[in-house]
Amino acid sequence: MTAPESHLLPVYAPPEQVFVRGEGCWIWDEKGDRYLDCIAGIAVNALGHAPPVLQKALNEQAGKLWHTSNMFKIAGQSTLADKYTRDSFADVVFFTNSGTEAIEGCLKTVRKFHSANSQPERIDIIGFAGSFHGRSYAAINAAGNPSYVEGFGPRLPGFLQAQFGDIESVKALVNKDTFAGIIIEPVQGEGGVREAAPEFLKALRALCDEHGALLIFDEVQSGAGRTGKMWAHEWSGVTPDVMAVAKGVGGGFPMGAFLATREAAKGMVKGVHGTTFGGNPLAMAVGNAAYDELSAPGFLDRVNAIANHFGQALEGVKDRHPDLVVEVRGKGLLRGLKLKIDPKEVQGKLRDHHKVLAGVAGDNVLRFAPPLIIDEAQISQAIDAIDAVLTSYVTQANG
């Protein structure tokens, strides 16, 4: 019997498992098989699956009010904006439904800043090869990945790409008359789990300051405690002017935000931007509860301790399999193993033979972004599974 034709747009090719339930770092498929989730919906389920504290917030709000649109004040928005700004460089926040929308808002904020300064010709935003900022037309142009822009018509003007980590390649793209800003992920996710060196971020900050341009950090993947600080850029001591966040900030509920200094956001005045669903009451209830957990005393200390343990364990994997593992990458609980073999195949074996879920990233990397609440026993289980899969390649080669 042939399978019925799917009516889903075939832009994804998921494996056969259908997951129906989750709890903490565990997730069950419809056959009742249990998997250890070491990717968390790509850095989303920061507090694990169905955390009681978020369930409570969502259920309570679901019984009260779901939607009014931003034509009315939405309870929870100003509370959450107060928390985000209390703990960051930012003065103002705009809530979105996704990371891509947060990026879109950052790009618009930067261009509008120059326009408000009577320099509307300053439109150039320099991004980096290997970056990922989402799938809207502006986001794919900002990242410039050929496989994401091809076939979608002309490239948008004013988006340039330099080499990640190479300040001279950035300087070479600066035209002082049209330079508007720089967009960078402090830790590249999709591009191969690559951490930007603090000196590089400092040099980007200095370049922006020198030219009156704005620095955007895309913390959609690296933020919300993922690297052991609330925002990954805190490790470098460099602050941006504008920042996009999403994924982990909602703990699994779709939401994001862009944050800015009041000065950088000077052009974002009444009527120039908006959203129907962004910052809706359900998202704000969950977002507030998630942020309270992430910022609770001791939470990030625990993330750092477990992340160090995970990092060392991955170094152990590399040492045991020097013929297959090139390097351990990333920061905190956003980690990658750059492999000499196909990471997709390793990912499939981990899932189907060992019931461990991992991700992949560019540059031949096997990616891990487990819930931030993962424990040592679960990490040992994941490491044993990775060891077993990599050993099977050696056995195959020898056999």
Ligand X SMILES: Cc1ncc(COP(=O)(O)O)c(C=O)c1O
Paired tokens of 45: 């389920």
> Which residues are within 8 A (CB) of 34 and not within 5 positions of it... i.e. 6 or more apart?
26, 27, 28, 355
Binding status of residue 100 toward ligand X by CB under 6 A? yes
- Binding segment (CB under 6 A) for ligand X, from list 111-119, 183-191, 223-231, 330-338: 183-191
> Which residues are within 8 A (CB) of 133 and not within 5 positions of it... i.e. 6 or more apart?
99, 100, 103, 127, 139, 140, 142, 143, 183, 185, 218, 220, 244
Quote the DSSP letter at residue 265: T
Binding status of residue 278 toward ligand X by CB under 6 A? no
Binding status of residue 259 toward ligand X by CB under 6 A? no
Binding status of residue 144 toward ligand X by CB under 6 A? no
> With respect to ligand X, which residue has the nearer C-beta, 347 or 381?
347
Binding status of residue 99 toward ligand X by CB under 6 A? yes
Find the binder of ligand X among 185, 241, 293, 363 (CB under 6 A).
Answer: 185
Residue nearest to ligand X (CB): 99
Considering the complex, what minimum distance in angstroms separates the CB of residue 142 from ligand X? 10
Considering the complex, what minimum distance in angstroms separates the CB of residue 25 from ligand X? 20
Paired tokens of 246: 């999403």
Of 21, 101, 152, which is closest to residue 273 (Cα–Cα)? 101
Find the binder of ligand X among 61, 77, 98, 280 (CB under 6 A).
Answer: 98
> With respect to ligand X, which residue has the nearer C-beta, 90 or 246?
246
Counting Cβ atoms within 10 Å, is residue 377 exposed (0-12), middle (13-18) or buried (19+)? Answer: exposed
Collect contacts of 10-19 with beta carbons under 8 A, ≥24 apart: 15/348, 15/351, 15/352, 17/351
Strands in 7-121 per DSSP E: 19-23, 26-29, 34-37, 92-96
Binding status of residue 246 toward ligand X by CB under 6 A? yes
Judged by CB under 6 A, the chain residues 50 through 89 that form the site for ligand X are none
> With respect to ligand X, which residue has the nearer C-beta, 77 or 221?
221
> With respect to ligand X, which residue has the nearer C-beta, 258 or 393?
258
Residues making contact with ligand X (CB under 6 A): 42, 98-100, 103, 132-134, 185, 189-190, 218, 220-221, 246
